[in-house]
A and B are shown apart, each in its own frame.
Chain A
């Protein structure tokens, strides 16, 4: 039995979503009267997952798998699921998790639900809730196969500590050929939109790329990632990788600050699973205010520098 999870790490350290996935799996395992087994790849301290309820960790350590290798990782997860007799496998909705989940599903002949946001409403039949229509709605989906694969949305279930001692065992796994990583181009000094708890986003209201200095400074003070609306990336003011929304990256941060963005339906679709939204816009009629939690009607060129200054004071006082 057991519920199996893939706990993702980056350079050996677990990502926050790894703990969310384990917490979530513990919730399912409790409902099904079983325990949680995690698979890790080159993690420094696999036993850390015990804190969130994993009672067993199958740890792969293989230098040949330090570059992400979808097929090799998927084989390891599917093999572990078979060996453990796990009928439910939970993966994160990170870029790599989304890559792996459908591969694992086919290897286990399992139906899959992606973007899952809550514990199953029932486990027999197995019915689970996920976001659909780019966050404009939820669907309750019944999975009919014996095995099930779930992709858990970020920041949806949260972290639940449940102290267990995780027993760590080695798992053999091989990188799979067919695809070779020729080069990686990754900014290591910046918080990514995918991992960020806070995202500061700028729109066309900022007038031009030369005005992004204050956006970057605000992001730095908050430890946030920077993002932008689609026209801003289409005009080349910011890189495509910062484009968020229905046709760009999804954002599921705890705080999203939108500056000079009108709040078009396609923009909102991509960001509305963020918990708290702050909007700064000169136009009190901007549609974004209807989707916001906090709003300031004001000129970004006046408000943002003041906000940076106050935040710096706040940090000093709360240090």
Chain B
């Protein structure tokens, strides 16, 4: 089984978000970039398939050279090869078109992406990729088993979960549950040394144009002050929620 894990390179969850160039660009100053958390769960599940079922695992990112340390980290965790499509990831449609070319060239059986990235939160790329390739697609995937060409996936739904049977080629939009938090791996010294020697292929982008572009960012308006209520007088809170906020 050949697995491709799609990795988006995102600001660490503790990052303060700021913009430059008249609020048109994300300010990377002082920001640490990491593997998108949803993708890290997927990568860790892929490592399980590698160790238990002899799968080959490749990772891919559509981005400029600044995302290479993130790909190297994925190699240090245990992926066999990395691919970077050299382009600015402007919008989900464009990224999905680039990934579709990578999948067609590489002949992958299973493609694991994240439910959403924590930068643009579009949750667009995995579904678009599936529709472009006409492959089976399971979103918000919290469990995945593969046996030959059949697969069983668990999907989180509002208020519960659903078990699905399907077949490869398959694309999943994964999240926590594919593996648990405690299964995540921190690369060790040996992994980091080996990652330096593993292939990281840089591919040119295909000719598709951006379908969308951000014209400007805004930050939320500063919040008003909090109204404090005396713990001895919780009735006042109910009164405020009913008469002032009008939410109960």
Q: Mark B31-67, 1 if CB is under 8 A from A, else 0.
A: 0000001100000000000000000000000000000
Q: Are A186 and B127 in contact (CB under 8 A)?
A: no
Q: Which residues of A contact B157 (CB under 8 A)?
A: 68, 95-96, 184, 186
A303 at the binding interface (Cβ < 8 Å): yes
Q: Chain B 2-42 against A: per-residue CB contact (8 Å), 1 yes, 0 no? A: 00000000010110010100000000000000000110000
Rounded to whole angstroms, the CA-CA distance of A113 and B212 in the bound complex is 9
**CB distance B11 to A106 under 8 Å?**
no
Partner-binding segment picked from B75-83, B104-112, B158-166, B189-197: B158-166
Q: Contact check: which of B14, B182, B229, B238 meets A314 at CB < 8 Å? A: B238
Of the candidate stretches A20-28, A43-51, A56-64, A289-297, the one touching chain B is A289-297
Within the complex, the shortest CB–CB distance from A308 to chain B, in Å, comes to: 9
Chain A hits for B91, CB < 8 A: 111, 141
Task: Indicate if the CB atoms of B223 and A290 lie closer than 8 Å.
Answer: yes
A138 to B50, CA, bound (A): 39
Chain A, range 133-178, C-beta contacts under 8 Å to B = 133-145, 178
Interface of B is mostly: mixed
Q: Which residues of B contact A184 (CB under 8 A)?
A: 157, 160-163
In the assembled complex, A131 has its CB within 8 A of some CB on chain B: yes
Contact residue among A74, A113, A296 (Cβ-Cβ distance under 8 Å from B234): A296
Residues of B in contact with A, size category: 35 or more
Measured between alpha carbons, how far is A137 from B212 in the docked complex, in Å? 18
A168-195 interface code vs B (CB 8 A; 1 in, 0 out): 0000000000111111111110101111
Q: Give the interface residue-count category, chain A.
A: 35 or more
Whole-angstrom distance from the CB of A230 to the nearest CB of chain B?
Answer: 8
| Contact flag A295-B226 (CB < 8 Å), given A112-B122, A179-B166, A310-B234 | yes
Q: Which residues of the other chain, A, contact B227 by a CB distance below 8 angstroms?
A: 293-295
Chain A contacts for B182, CB-based, 8 A: 234
Looking at A29-37, A80-88, A202-210, A239-247, the stretch in contact with chain B turns out to be A239-247
Contact indicator B163/A182 (Cβ below 8 Å): yes
> Closest Cβ of chain B: how far from A125's Cβ, in Å?
9
The answer to whether the Cβ of A278 comes within 8 Å of any Cβ in the partner chain is yes
Among B165, B211, B218, B228, point to the contact of A295 (Cβ < 8 A).
B228
Does A265 touch B at the CB level, under 8 Å? Answer: yes
Which residue of B is nearest A104, CB measured?
B131
Q: B186 at interface (Cβ–Cβ under 8 A)?
A: no
B214 within 8 A of A: yes
Contacts of A311 in B (CB 8 A): 238
CA distance A127 to B156 in the complex (A): 32
Cross-chain contact A105 with B128 (CB below 8 angstroms): yes
Residues of A260-318 contacting chain B, CB below 8 A? 265-266, 269, 272, 275-276, 278-279, 289-299, 302-303, 306-307, 310-311, 314, 318
Asked whether, in the complex, the Cβ of A139 is within 8 Å of the Cβ of B158, the reply is no
> Which of A98, A255, A311, A314 has most B Cβ within 10 Å?
A98
Asked whether, in the complex, the Cβ of B119 is within 8 Å of the Cβ of A99, the reply is no
- Asked whether any CB of chain A lies closer than 8 Å to the CB of B174, the reply is no
Other than the known A106-B127, A111-B93, A112-B92, what 4 A-B pairs have Cβ atoms closer than 8 Å?
A96-B158, A102-B123, A276-B245, A294-B228
A-B contact pairs, 27 of them (CB 8 A): A94-B158, A95-B156, A102-B124, A103-B127, A106-B93, A106-B131, A114-B122, A127-B215, A134-B118, A137-B220, A139-B217, A141-B91, A141-B215, A142-B214, A143-B212, A145-B212, A178-B136, A187-B159, A190-B159, A193-B158, A240-B177, A276-B245, A279-B226, A294-B237, A295-B228, A296-B231, A303-B231
